[in-house]
Every structure is written in C-alpha cells, then in structure tokens.
C-alpha cells in the first residue's frame, strides 16, 4: 500500500486542529497535530512531514517566525508550508509569503478548500505523492484507480453507484436529501425522479456487502454514510 502523506498541523485552537485532522484522515493523509512552535520543531526534527499547515498566531514563537527559521535550514528548506490565519489583510499575506510559505489560507476556510490547497502544493512539490483516496473505517475508495475495497476486498460497483459512494464518503456523517444527491451526483442538467436515488442506493448497498450498514436511511430526510454504523457489532 502507498504511504500516506504526512501532514503536520500546527494549530493552538483544539477544535480547529481536530476538524482539520479528521478531514485529513478521511481524505488519505496522515496528520499529526501539535499546538505550538516548540512541539512543531521537535516533530520536524524527528521526521520531515510532506506538508505543514502552520497557524500564524501561536502562543510563543509565531508561525511566521517558524516558517522563516525552517526556510534557512538546509534540512527543512523544501518542506511545503501553508499558513493558516485569521488575518486577511494584503500586507499580512505578503509578509507570510515572504517568510517562505507556499500558500496562505484565511480563516474561516472550508475544509474542501484547504484540501484543494494541500493537494495543489503537494502536486507542485511531489506530484507522485498526491492521494486521491478516501478512507472511512475499513472502506477505501481510490478515485484515480476507480477501485473500492472493504476490509481489503475489492468491491464491484456500477459507475453511478461509484460516484454516489464517492460523494457520500467525501461528506460523511451528514444527511443528504434525495434532491441534493441528484444535484451533486447526477448534475442539475438532468431530469430524474427522486426515487431513482433510492434505486441506486439499493444497488450500492448490494455492491457494498458487509459495508452496506454504513449507508443509513434517515426517514423523511434522505441518506447518510456513517462510519459508526460499521463498527457496531
């Protein structure tokens, strides 16, 4: 199996750090979270990450100071850095990029945007290292290879079921209405009845075998993909 890209998350707000880490894990990255510059330095001394998400405002040494220090060090010079910050002013952005950051994301950011930035930075630095896989528990979807495995066993899904599963896996633990699924999976240019969604959900469940319990029907609301359902019993 391909090694997952290591992402060092340096963020002192636990809720934001946790949200980022969960999303990274779901999208094929191996995150490590630290809360300040000293811990970040220890982490980098131990093992070089593939990319660093670095909060600007940290207790003690700031993210910008840390980025500057890493850029002059031979060993850390090439590590991609994405600065996270609540500041949005143009001068701050310039200061961040001058300090050696590869990119810059202003809070509040969407996790999809953050993931896109990470992939873009990795693609520029190490094109072979960009994951296109989503992991939810033992269910793994590799979009590039068009493969789905459950507990290491390959599953056979039709193209629509594959797209439907991909969408649900990228947005887990959330209820999606039939109308939303039609819009996001089929596209809004087609006119399909909502019960078509039910037909494909049924086929998807058949194709998923043991993982079918992860697709939950939420009465009167729609469908949800949940990792928790697969770990019970």
CB of 48 to Ca ion, least distance (A): 23
Contact in structure between 32 and 23 (CB atoms under 8 Å): no
Part of the chain binding Ca ion (CB under 5 A), chosen from 37-45, 55-63, 178-186, 218-226? 55-63
Q: Nearer Cβ to Ca ion, position 33 or 214?
A: 33
| 12 near Ca ion, judged by CB under 5 A | yes
Number of residues that bind Ca ion (CB under 5 A): 3
Task: Say how far apart CA 182 and CA 189 lie, in whole Å.
Answer: 10
Neighbouring-strand partners of residue 33: 9
CB of 207 to Ca ion, least distance (A): 44
Which residue in the set 43, 55, 102, 161 belongs to the binding site for Ca ion (CB under 5 A)? 55
Which residue in the set 22, 39, 57, 120 belongs to the binding site for Ca ion (CB under 5 A)? 57
Beta strand 222-225 pairing with 215-218: antiparallel
Q: Nearer Cβ to Ca ion, position 117 or 224?
A: 117
Residue 146 burial (CB count, 10 A) = 11
Task: Say how far apart CA 87 and CA 39 lie, in whole Å.
Answer: 23
CA 197 to chain centre: 26
| Binding-site ranges for Ca ion (CB under 5 A) | 12, 55, 57
């Amino acid at each position: 199996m391909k090694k997952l890209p290591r992402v060092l998350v340096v963020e002192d707000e636990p809720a934001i750090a946790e949200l980022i880490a969960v999303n990274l894990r779901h999208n094929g990255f191996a995150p490590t979270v630290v809360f300040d510059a000293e811990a970040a330095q220890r982490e980098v001394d131990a093992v070089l990450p593939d990319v660093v998400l670095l909060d600007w405002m940290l207790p003690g040494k700031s993210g910008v100071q840390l980025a500057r220090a890493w850029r002059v060090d031979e060993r850390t010079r090439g590590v991609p850095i994405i600065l996270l910050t609540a500041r949005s002013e143009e001068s701050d952005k310039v200061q961040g990029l001058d300090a050696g950051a590869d990119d810059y994301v202003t809070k509040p950011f969407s996790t999809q945007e953050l993931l896109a930035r990470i992939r873009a930075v990795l693609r520029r630095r190490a094109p072979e290292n960009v994951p296109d896989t989503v992991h939810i528990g033992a269910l793994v979807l590799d979009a590039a290879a068009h493969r789905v495995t459950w507990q290491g066993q390959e599953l056979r899904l039709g193209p629509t079921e594959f797209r439907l599963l991909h969408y649900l896996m990228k947005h887990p633990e959330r209820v999606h209405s039939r109308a939303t699924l039609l819009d996001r999976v089929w596209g809004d240019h087609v006119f399909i009845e909502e019960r078509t969604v039910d037909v494909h959900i049924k086929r998807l469940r058949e194709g998923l075998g043991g993982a079918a319990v992860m697709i939950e029907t939420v009465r009167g609301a729609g469908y949800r993909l949940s990792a928790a359902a697969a770990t019970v019993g």
